[in-house]
Structure 1
């Protein structure tokens, strides 16, 4: 089985990240070929004020 999952770098990790992507990824990593990515393009196209970073 191949597994593909990603996460968007939208700031600090929080419980939503953990239960939504991180925990399932850890549980599935030994069940087949696991590929994980960080969707970094989203961080380059989102607008932020300088004070928010």
Structure 2
């Protein structure tokens, strides 16, 4: 499977920056991974839970 990242070091750096930027926002977030016909997809859930 192809990947967006060419080097593991770059992947970790981008993931760290992404987490840092999410932490700067005044929101709560939750990560989830779902299976799709294109492969696993990572999603970020924010906002209040629906009822």
Same topology, TM > 0.5: no
With normalisation by structure 2, the TM-score equals 0.29
With normalisation by structure 1, the TM-score equals 0.29
